Amino acid sequence: MTMRTRTLGTTGPQVSALGLGCMGMSGMYGEADRAESIATLHAALDAGVTLLDTGDFYGMGHNELLIAEALRSAPAGLRDNALLSVKFGALRDPDGGWSGYDGRPAAVKNFAAYSLQRLGVDHIDVYRPARLDPDVPIEETVGAIAELVEKGWVRHIGLSEVGADTIRRAAATAPICDLQIEYALISRGPEREILPTLRELGIAVTAYGVLSRGLISGHVTAGRQFAANDFRAHSPRFQGDNFQHNLTLVESLRKVAEQKGVTVAQTAIAWVLSRGEDVVPLVGARTRERLGEALGALDVTLDADDLAAIERAVPADAAAGERYASEQMAQLDSER
């Protein structure tokens, strides 16, 4: 297959139309298989996926080291095509707990230095704060990344999970290529104010959670038990009556998918792809099998009738439960 491309905003790089979100390869959804993770990264690069997304706090550095290993062992031509998007700022403790965010300029440069070393690269393609630090003006955080751009350590500046006002302030400080935010059939909050703001400013979207952490993949069934170290064990959308309600939405979507002769996951990913050429879905595939299914979404064309059928099956705001637990929702500038 020939991978289609999209551009991250008016100032950013050209990337594959689908990116690979690597978080799940470092334990956020239970145990992951290291060898299969590396094989999946290689398969993604071989298929023309160029955008690899990570965070320095995924597995407390584990994810960056994993990507570095995969890049070292990939054929040179594929390795050179990889574009790395890195989030920073989330603070962890040795027990794996979370203790806030740090967007101070000195911290930004410190985080970048460690990421460059772990990834084994001389620059980061897109560098972004994972969340807004409420104690540090976004102008200071973005200004520090801009200094890294001037020195060649970073190529482009991105944002993550921030609202329209913060986006405007950041864009007035330095060129912003994209906003990373959860955007899916059952996570459509960005459509209200954030997407119009981004389009006004020429900023793209890298959409994560396009399968809502597997919830709308068609592979999760009622009665599924999640390990204590799996994010979904604590996610409101996977709890009790919320879980049952959300699975009924998936079954409605399955009927649409079956009529098209594709999978539920491919339908959900294709819907995100249909939102515009300025939207790049990140698929969190941890295995070659799931990656192959996700790539199949690139061959799915949704016409007006298909989109209307999907809307009837999964209306906006139809999901039960917030996308994060209440403490985490309170940290999202994008939800204010």
pLDDT in tens, 165-179: 999 999 999 999 999
Q: Which CATH superfamily is domain 13-335 in?
A: NADP-dependent oxidoreductase domain (3.20.20.100)
Q: Which residues of 45-55 are buried (b: 16+ CB within 10 A; e: fewer)?
A: bebbbbbbbbb
The CA distance from 191 to 333, in Å, is 15
Is the pTM above the cut of 0.85?
Answer: yes
The pLDDT of residue 257:
98
Q: Tell me which residue of 272, 273, 294 sits closest to 218, measured CA to CA.
A: 294
* 67-74 average pLDDT score: 98
Residues 6+ apart with CB under 8 A from 196: none
What are the sequence ranges of the domains in the chain? Answer: 13-335
C-alpha pair distances (Å), 312 with each of 169, 188, 190, 249, 308: 37, 15, 20, 10, 6
User: What are the pLDDT digits (tens) for 179-195?
Assistant: 999 999 999 999 999 99
* Residue 58 known to be catalytic: yes
Given 58, 127, 183, 324, the catalytic residue: 58
The pLDDT of residue 28: 82
Q: Which two tokens stand for residue 320?
A: 């039960």
Angle at the Cα of 108 from the Cα atoms of 197 and 28, rounded to 5 degrees: 80
Q: pLDDT-based confidence at 1, cuts 50/70/90?
A: low
pLDDT tens-digit series, residues 132-142:
999 999 999 99
Q: Do β-strands 19-21 and 51-55 pair in parallel, antiparallel, or remain unpaired?
A: parallel
Nearest partner of 263 among 223, 214, 312, 222, judged by Cα: 214
C-alpha to C-alpha distance for 69 and 82, rounded to whole angstroms: 13
How confident is the model over 296-332, as pLDDT tens digits?
999 999 999 999 999 999 999 999 999 998 989 999 9
pLDDT in tens, 194-224: 999 999 999 999 999 999 999 999 999 998 9
